[in-house]
């Protein structure tokens, strides 16, 4: 892996370079000037420099000279603004590798970087594995001291939940126990480690977490990669790596990282499942090395440290998740209360406090919740079943309406809920809006009805006015008087029917009082009324079994009008050959006495698109009338606990069915 120093004052430029280069091959370190990376340059940690120039004059040459003074032998790629550059020739003389015009082009930059390193590697001698020099090995710590240190260390791992504090104390204890001169811990991001132990594929870095004895500027800018170098070796092999080991000396990247960090040993930090980080250490403060037994003990300590770090991260994740949930619940417009299995209030947001206990300043207790809600919460926790949402008015806010829902929450396979969530949605404004919409709809209906009514009355009054004028002129002609009398009578009947429709439409039957009438007599009188309003030339044939024994109770005048509208509709279905068949049948079920009355005409029946709308106001298949006949009929039938059914023509053509409760003839 190559380490690139990017010198720029523009963060977007660094982001563009990062997007253009392969993260597995290049480590990027951003600085505003070369001087702030002096430690890295002096340690040989930088492989190449990318310089972002904002000027195209003599200042550009001065900047290049400053960079070259600190890093004379490194490849230097300069990005410059577009335009004429009089200094470009001098820049190449100073040792600039390439001068590229902005913006950053990924393919070009990757190619130039490969060529620059290819030329540089060709000038360097190849590394050959050498015999590792012998290092002085001290005897291991006395057994009593080692056990005591392990005991102190283990107690720290058990009780600490702060990852940084854990690392600080752990490194201090290791320095005291083993006399370590310098040490640094590099860790993966906690977010890169999911709860099931599978690492995130988009995180390839071990970032500095804590160090002792190192220069902070060096460590913080030098992460280790899992794709190359020390991080890659420990990720694959999970064992201790010495700087003088053959595999380390054979790898230029590993050797460079050991040299840059000033360390001689790297140890994995894992939790018995996967690599969490790396510990790199120097020799002892006395100048001596470490024996195999000491490193073995340290290896196991780091294993315990990895488990503790994993617990710390899980605790932090749980804490952050809990905080996020609290923020979400607090930000909701509705009231939210979380009650635990022991009936303790775990959370209550401000909206809930305002609705349940206004002016309440202390923590909300279960006893503060109104009994009507508290008893339901208790049942939900005990039974584990949600409550059907219902409407509730807070006693402290009688003008507010809330929609209440209570849901149980279980963890894992536990059937008993661990908590219950009470949600209070303020629906006051919604109800007001619904009521306003209903009133608006009623006003629209009244306006539409007034227009249709005025039009229909006008159609009926016009013939009356015309006949009144003709009567003055042709009053002596008996035949003319007879014809005018028929026209006047028809107009009067039209207005009379209209008046009846509006009268029955405007009132309801409360079911508390009424008369009882034979269904046969009621249908016979309804047939006579329909004949009165039928303008056809042919009198319709009525088929009715007049021996039906059943009786119905209620507003018999209204029921008579309802059936007359149905019979009139049947008469008008086929004016040339009108025929009406009335069939009455008992369709009672256990505990429910009901009567079916079918009105059959000689017409083709209602089409699908018309049948679905029949019964709605102002729906009619004829050019005259208000279209309120079946609307009034449906209202009267439903007021008497009945039902009006209009089957489609493909099932029962020309049939309208009415069901009504009836009185048992045996009781009369």
**Residue 2's CB: how many other CB atoms inside 10 A?**
20
Instruction: Return d(Cα 152, Cα 146) in angstroms, integer.
Output: 10
Q: In 332-368, which residue ranges form alpha helices assigned H by DSSP?
A: 350-356
CA–CA distances in Å: residue 656 to residues 385, 456, 616, 641, 645: 45, 26, 15, 17, 6
In eight-state DSSP terms, residue 193 is: B
Q: Give the pLDDT of residue 147.
A: 44
424 touches 407 (CB < 8 A): no
Question: Residue 567 corresponds to which tokens in the numbers above?
Answer: 């019979």
CA–CA distances in Å: residue 209 to residues 38, 164, 309, 375: 22, 8, 12, 51
334 touches 423 (CB < 8 A): yes
pTM of the prediction? 0.51
Strands (E) across 550-626 are located at: 551-554, 579-586, 594-600
Q: Give the pLDDT of residue 537.
A: 62
Q: Give the pLDDT of residue 141.
A: 43
411 touches 382 (CB < 8 A): no
Q: Give the pLDDT of residue 233.
A: 93
242 touches 248 (CB < 8 A): yes
Give the pLDDT confidence of 181-193 residue by residue, as tens digits.
889 999 988 765 5
Q: Mean pLDDT, consecutive 10-residue segments, the chain of 668 residues?
A: 88 89 85 84 86 80 87 89 80 88 88 78 47 37 48 57 83 82 88 52 78 80 87 91 92 90 92 89 86 86 86 81 74 83 87 80 82 91 89 86 90 79 88 82 71 70 76 72 77 77 71 78 88 73 82 88 87 78 88 87 66 54 58 86 77 80 66
**Residue 197's CB: how many other CB atoms inside 10 A?**
10
Q: Give the pLDDT of residue 390.
A: 92
Length of the chain in residues, anyone?
668
Tell me the backbone φ, ψ of residue 300, rounded to 5 degrees. -70, -35
149 touches 271 (CB < 8 A): no
213 touches 282 (CB < 8 A): yes
Instruction: Return d(Cα 544, Cα 347) in angstroms, integer.
Output: 71
The torsion defined by the Cα of 276, 282, 288 and 292, in degrees rounded to 10, comes to 20
Q: Give the pLDDT of residue 115.
A: 83
Tell me the backbone φ, ψ of residue 422, rounded to 5 degrees. -105, 125
**Residue 567's CB: how many other CB atoms inside 10 A?**
26
In eight-state DSSP terms, residue 142 is: P
What SS3 class is residue 305? Answer: helix
Q: Give the pLDDT of residue 610.
A: 55
Tell me the backbone φ, ψ of residue 129, rounded to 5 degrees. -55, 135
Q: Give the pLDDT of residue 279.
A: 94
């Amino acid at each position: 892996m190559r380490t690139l120093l990017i010198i720029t004052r523009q963060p977007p430029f660094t982001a563009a370079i990062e997007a253009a280069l392969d993260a597995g091959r290049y480590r990027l370190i951003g600085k505003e000037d070369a001087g702030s990376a002096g430690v890295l340059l002096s340690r040989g940690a930088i492989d190449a420099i990318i310089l972002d120039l904002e000027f195209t004059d003599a200042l550009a040459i001065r900047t290049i000279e400053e960079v070259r003074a600190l890093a004379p032998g490194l490849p230097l790629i300069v990005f410059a603004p577009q335009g004429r550059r009089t200094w470009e020739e001098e820049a190449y003389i100073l040792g600039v590798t390439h001068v590229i015009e902005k913006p950053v082009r990924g393919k070009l930059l990757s190619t130039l970087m490969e060529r620059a390193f290819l030329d540089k590697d060709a000038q360097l001698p190849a590394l050959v594995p050498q015999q590792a020099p012998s290092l002085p090995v001290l005897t291991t710590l006395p057994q009593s001291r080692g056990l005591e240190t392990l005991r102190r260390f283990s107690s720290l791992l058990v009780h600490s939940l702060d990852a940084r504090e854990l690392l600080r104390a752990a490194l201090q204890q290791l320095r005291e126990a083993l006399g370590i001169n310098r040490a640094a811990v590099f860790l993966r991001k906690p977010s890169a480690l999911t709860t099931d132990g599978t690492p995130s594929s988009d995180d390839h870095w071990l970032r500095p977490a804590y160090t002792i004895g190192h220069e902070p500027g060096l460590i913080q800018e030098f992460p280790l990669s899992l794709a190359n170098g020390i991080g890659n070796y420990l990720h694959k092999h999970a064992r201790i790596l010495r700087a003088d080991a053959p595999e380390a000396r054979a790898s230029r990247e590993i050797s460079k990282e050991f040299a840059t960090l000033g360390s001689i040993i790297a140890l994995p930090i894992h939790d018995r499942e996967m690599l969490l980080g790396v510990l790199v250490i120097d020799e002892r403060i006395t100048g001596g090395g470490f024996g195999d037994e000491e490193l073995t003990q340290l290896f196991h300590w780091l294993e315990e440290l990895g488990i503790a770090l994993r617990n710390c991260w899980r605790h932090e994740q749980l804490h952050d998740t809990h905080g996020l949930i609290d923020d979400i619940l607090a930000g909701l417009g509705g009231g939210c209360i979380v009650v635990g299995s022991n009936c303790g209030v775990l959370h209550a947001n401000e909206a809930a406090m305002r609705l349940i206990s206004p002016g309440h300043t202390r923590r909300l207790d279960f006893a503060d919740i109104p009994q009507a809600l508290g008893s339901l919460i208790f049942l939900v926790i005990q039974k584990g079943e949600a409550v059907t949402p219902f409407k509730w008015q807070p006693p402290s806010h009688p003008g507010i309406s809330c929609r209440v829902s209570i849901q149980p929450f279980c963890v894992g396979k536990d059937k008993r809920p661990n908590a219950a969530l009470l949600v209070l949605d303020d629906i006051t404004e919604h109800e007001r809006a619904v009521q306003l919409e209903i009133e608006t709809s009623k006003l629209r209906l009244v306006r539409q009805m007034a227009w249709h009514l005025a039009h229909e009355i006008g159609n009926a009054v016009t013939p009356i006015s015309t006949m009144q004028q003709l009567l003055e002129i042709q009053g002596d002609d008996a035949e003319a008087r007879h014809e005018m009398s028929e026209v006047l009578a028809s107009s009067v009947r039209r207005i009379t029917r209209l008046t009846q429709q509006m009268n029955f439409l405007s009132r309801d039957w409360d079911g508390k009082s009424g008369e009882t009438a034979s269904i046969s007599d009621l249908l016979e009188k309804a047939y006579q009324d329909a004949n009165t309003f039928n303008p056809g030339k042919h009198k319709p044939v009525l088929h009715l079994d007049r021996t039906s024994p059943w009786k119905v109770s209620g507003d018999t005048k209204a029921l008579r009008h309802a059936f007359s509208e149905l019979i009139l509709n049947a008469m008008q279905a086929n004016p040339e050959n009108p025929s009406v068949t009335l069939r009455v049948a008992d369709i009672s079920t256990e505990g429910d006495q009901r009567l079916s009355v079918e009105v059959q005409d000689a017409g083709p029946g209602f089409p699908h698109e018309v049948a679905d709308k029949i019964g709605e106001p102002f729906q009619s298949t004829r050019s005259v009338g208000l279209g309120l006949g079946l609307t009034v009929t449906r209202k009267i039938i439903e007021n008497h606990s009945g039902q009006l059914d209009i089957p489609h023509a493909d099932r029962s053509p020309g049939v309208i069915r009415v069901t009504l409760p009836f009185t048992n003839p045996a009781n009369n």
